[in-house]
Amino acid sequence: MNKIFEKGGKFYWLHSTIDAFESFLHVPGTVTRKGAHVRDAIDLKRLLILVVIAAAPAALFGMWNVGYQHGLAVGDLRLNILGNFWYGFLRVLPLYLVSYIVGLGIEFASSQIRGEEVSEGYLVSGFFIPLIVPVDIPLWMLAVAVAFAVIFGKEVFGGTGMNIVNPAILARAFLFFSYPNYMSGSECWIHFKSGEQLVDGFTGATPLSLEGASAQYGTGFWDLFIGTVPGSVGETSVIAILLGAVILLWTGIASWKIMAGGVLGALFVGGIGDLAGISQIPCFMQLLYGGFAFGIVFMATDPVTSAQTECGKWIYGFLIGALCIMVRLFNPGYAEGMMLAILLCNVFAPLIDHCVISVHLSRKSRKPKTA
Amino acid sequence: MSQTFVLKRGLNIPLAGEAELRVSKTIVPGVVAVRPTDFKGFLPRLLVKEGDPVLCGSPVMADKKNADILLASPVSGTVKAIVRGEKRKLLAVLIEADDRQQCVDFGVRDASALDDGQVRQALLQSGLWPFLVQRPYGIVADPDIRPRDIFISTFNTAPLAPDSHLCFDGELKAAQAGLDALSKLTDGCIHLGLDARDTDAPFAGVHGARLHRFSGKHPAGNVGVQISHIDPIRKGDSVWTVSPAGLVAIGKLFTTGRYDVRRKVAVTGPMAIEPAYIDTLPGMPMTEIAGFCGNTPSEKLRVISGDALSGSSVGADGYLGFFDSQITLLCEGTDKELLGWIRPFRFNQFSTDRSYFSWLLPKKKYAMDTNLHGGPRAFLMNDGYYAKVLPMDIYPVYLAKACLAGEIEKMEKYGIYEVLPEDLATCEFVDPSKNDIQHMIEQGIELMLKEMA
């Protein structure tokens, strides 16, 4: 690095930024000073770029779906796959620009204030945030939400790795509670230009709030599985999300225990709902609706905010699944419960770990001596 | 009868440069260093001054807290220099060897016929006592206590570790004498950890000790890991450990009456030319092995006394550590690698992570360098990511964070008594956040020593 960016130099205030770009270009020539003289080639950049790659199918599908849903809504199905994708891409691109410019801007500034290197954490959060909001969200709202999430969700705790709740989920929760009109109902999920003529009887509500009622598109198993339904940008296609899940599980970045626990929890509560006659939907369909799949694969498995212990991961995953379906079935106000379930369990994850570790340690201390 | 422990978790690091199974030369160092910094908890008081004649086995330093604990000279000759560092901290006593090599005669004795006081006296007097390491904390053993048990790991699983057959075949008699002596010092047992894959392990024939067989990847050969499986250290326990080289040296004190710490040392590592074993003394200057380094400029070479995970970088003009039976030569990884982290394949870099493809080449050995491969970050991955390379029943990340925070109660809870930094070396290796976990544990242990004193 040039001398002027080092401590005492004229441009020291740009130190973290320059360092971030430099280490983005090449692995720095830093050598080990203490402890192990050789180190694994893995670093956070590599781990986190894999999460982005894993979420890419959902993002690409989401862009296509934005175009496709718009076509359905205005009764214009002339566009082909590429046309739909391009239409959606142009709608989603501003969301990405806002998310990354605002989020990374704050991240760079606070790294500089702390005198640390810029952490890669926001690469992932910034990629997720546009995927879990409605495509028509006003950009200024998104900017406010991102700023709130990064500052109060992460930086006040000390940056990536120190946060208690998932910043992406926090951004969504902020939007949900601050601007509910833009985050729920039947208006926001599909992109319209002003003055466009809608098809008669059209509703832009997501299948979750319709519960399979009269809609102009199918809400059958395959529609939901493939994802040709309205919803937040990246959450609709279960198959694209499953592709991401395979990558995350193979590389071991996400915990299969959390995912499995979540599915079990959802089926458990959904099953009770079915048996008790509360819900009309078969419990396995709950896994396809709304943000469940995206949440349990990408959000719940965030290694920083999830439970740390192996046993705790089962409990944590199960609770998320169970709470999500519970909100869906028993709370008439909220059609979707995934976001709230994950937020709540993020907060409780340290408690879950504390209990698991306490039980483990007290059992260990009671173990009879072997020799 | 022996018990077998199969350890599933751990990591063997495929470092290139394994030493060929032959002793390429016997080195009689012209100068040796006696360094008090090799011994944790030892506060040196000098017993010699420059120009004093010493014999092999003569005391050079004593511990300020317990004047009975001595460090001895491994050669006979004269004290050449006393090396001090900042604040006049004593770093080393350099002794120039003479040609006659006379030894102090401690007398040949049958260890099994001595009582505990005589054994203790013999070990203290001869300067072999510091081979006894006390856990928790890994300090020089306190002669005033009787440890719960004594543990010896007879094999080493560290990267490129010396072969126990080459080092210890033929030393059974000395080892037996050492065990006989040590058994007087404890009311508990002497536990010997053997390599389960090695059917005729060098020390399998001893009696008077409990044998335990371990199979698994590194750190299965670490005595700390073995203790945690045999009988974990709880609060209030004190156990002692001895390296196999120490056991043999202690045995030889009784069978030959001499202070003999000569040992076979593996010179290893990707930068070593024709890596092989040498027969030498601890305190040997690294300049003696210049032949293994070739023409590598010194700023590109890291000379490590010990293994690549837990050894200490001593530099090309440093000295072999008292406890070390291995020297590792690594290349300093100061080169910047263009777009390294984003390349799909990096076949010359080893990673345990599935996001790289090292798992496709399980047999490949890697010429690793000392590059950190990333920038330091806060802990991001959760405990399980580290626990899969640590075959101990503890929570490594929780322990490291407790040490960072300096919270004594939590450190106790998460197992600070059971570990030394070296036990968590594999966790440090795999850490994508590039934390110095061993250093954190060391700081925690320092704090415990200060607070618990």
Chain A positions touching B338 (Cβ under 8 A) are: 25-26
**CA-based nearest residue to B293, from B336, B334, B327:** B327
Dihedral (Cα; B300, B306, B307, B313), 10-degree rounding:
-30
Higher pLDDT, A248 or A80: A248
Dihedral (Cα; B412, A308, A341, A343), 10-degree rounding:
70
Q: Please name the residue that has the structure tokens 């169970």.
A: A322
SS3 at position B34: strand
> Residue A194 pLDDT more than 70?
no
CB < 8 Å from B in window 95-134 of A: 117, 119-121
User: Using CA atoms, how far apart are residues A46 and A350, in angstroms rounded to an integer?
Assistant: 27
CB < 8 Å from A in window 202-231 of B: 210, 230-231
Chain B positions touching A50 (Cβ under 8 A) are: 355
Chain B positions touching A121 (Cβ under 8 A) are: 380
List, in sequence order, every residue forming a beta bridge with A31; answer none if it has no partner: B371
Specify the pLDDT at position A213.
38
Angle between helices A238-251 and A44-74 (to 10 degrees): 180
Chain B positions touching A28 (Cβ under 8 A) are: 336, 372, 374-375
> Would you call A41 an interface residue with chain B, using a CB distance cutoff of 8 Å?
yes
B434 to A35: CB separation less than 8 angstroms, yes or no? no
A29 to B189: CB separation less than 8 angstroms, yes or no? no
Domains, in order of start, for chain B = 29-97 (2.40.50.100), 107-256 (3.40.50), 263-360 (3.10.20), 383-452 (no CATH)
HSE, side-chain direction, 13 A CA sphere, residue B287: 7
Specify the pLDDT at position A22.
75
List, in sequence order, every residue forming a beta bridge with B210; answer none if it has no partner: B191
Specify the pLDDT at position B101.
84
Which amino acid would we find at residue B349? Q
Q: Please name the residue that has the structure tokens 């003289």.
A: A37
How does pLDDT run across A288-311, given as a tens digit for each residue? 888 899 999 999 999 999 999 999
User: How far apart are the CA of B59 and the nearest CA of chain A, in angstroms?
Assistant: 32
Q: Let me know how long chain B is.
A: 453
Quickly state the pLDDT bin for A217 (edges 50, 70, 90).
very low
B373 to A26: CB separation less than 8 angstroms, yes or no? no
Question: What is the CA A162 to chain-centroid distance, rounded?
Answer: 18
Which amino acid would we find at residue B40? K
Dihedral (Cα; A78, A83, A87, A89), 10-degree rounding:
160
Specify the pLDDT at position A205.
65
How does pLDDT run across A160-189, given as a tens digit for each residue? 888 999 999 999 999 999 988 877 766 667
Query: What is the pTM (predicted TM-score) of this model?
Result: 0.90
* Positions of chain B with pLDDT lower than 70, given as ranges: 1
ipTM of the complex: 0.88
How does pLDDT run across A318-337, given as a tens digit for each residue? 999 999 999 888 877 777 88
Dihedral (Cα; A343, A348, A353, A358), 10-degree rounding:
180
Tokens of A340: 């709230």
Indicate the average pLDDT of chain A: 85
Largest CA distance in chain B: 67
User: Using CA atoms, how far apart are residues B237 and B216, in angstroms rounded to an integer?
Assistant: 27
B381 to A47: CB separation less than 8 angstroms, yes or no? yes
Q: Which residues contact A318 (CB under 8 A, 6 or more apart)?
A: A261, A262, A264, A265, A268
Specify the pLDDT at position B436.
92
Quickly state the pLDDT bin for A196 (edges 50, 70, 90).
low
Q: Please name the residue that has the structure tokens 């319709």.
A: A210
Q: Determine which of B377, B395, B431, B445 to mutate to test the interface with A (most A C-beta atoms within 10 Å).
A: B377
> Would you call A50 an interface residue with chain B, using a CB distance cutoff of 8 Å?
yes
Q: Which residues contact B165 (CB under 8 A, 6 or more apart)?
A: B198, B202
Specify the pLDDT at position A32.
86
Largest CA distance in chain A: 83
B263-268/B326-331 β-pairing: parallel
User: How far apart are the CA of A67 and the nearest CA of chain B, in angstroms?
Assistant: 31
> Residue A202 pLDDT more than 70?
no
A35 to B425: CB separation less than 8 angstroms, yes or no? yes
User: Using CA atoms, how far apart are residues A322 and A268, in angstroms rounded to an integer?
Assistant: 7
User: Using CA atoms, how far apart are residues B363 and B358, in angstroms rounded to an integer?
Assistant: 10
How many other CB atoms are found less than 10 A from the CB of residue B415? Answer: 24
CB B167 within 8 A of CB B25: no
Q: What percent of chain A lies above the pLDDT cut of 90?
A: 43
Q: Running DSSP on this structure, what letter comes out for residue B285?
A: B
CB < 8 Å from B in window 136-165 of A: 158-162
Strand order in the sheet with B312-313: B23-26, B277-280, B263-268, B326-331, B301-305, B312-313
List, in sequence order, every residue forming a beta bridge with B264; answer none if it has no partner: B279
CB A97 within 8 A of CB A139: no
Q: Please name the residue that has the structure tokens 């978790």.
A: B9
User: How far apart are the CA of A371 and the nearest CA of chain B, in angstroms?
Assistant: 6
B2-6/B210-215 β-pairing: parallel
List, in sequence order, every residue forming a beta bridge with B70; answer none if it has no partner: B62
Specify the pLDDT at position B337.
75
Across A101-130, average pLDDT: 89
User: How far apart are the CA of A246 and the nearest CA of chain B, in angstroms?
Assistant: 12
SS3 at position A157: helix
User: Using CA atoms, how far apart are residues B327 and B324, in angstroms rounded to an integer?
Assistant: 8
Across A144-171, average pLDDT: 92
> Would you call A363 an interface residue with chain B, using a CB distance cutoff of 8 Å?
no
User: Rg of the Cα trace of chain A?
Assistant: 22
Instruction: Using CB atoms, pick whichever of A40, A49, A365 lies closest to residue B429.
Output: A40
> Residue A128 pLDDT more than 60?
yes
Q: Which residues contact A250 (CB under 8 A, 6 or more apart)?
A: B354
How many other CB atoms are found less than 10 A from the CB of residue B7? Answer: 20
> Residue A224 pLDDT more than 50?
yes
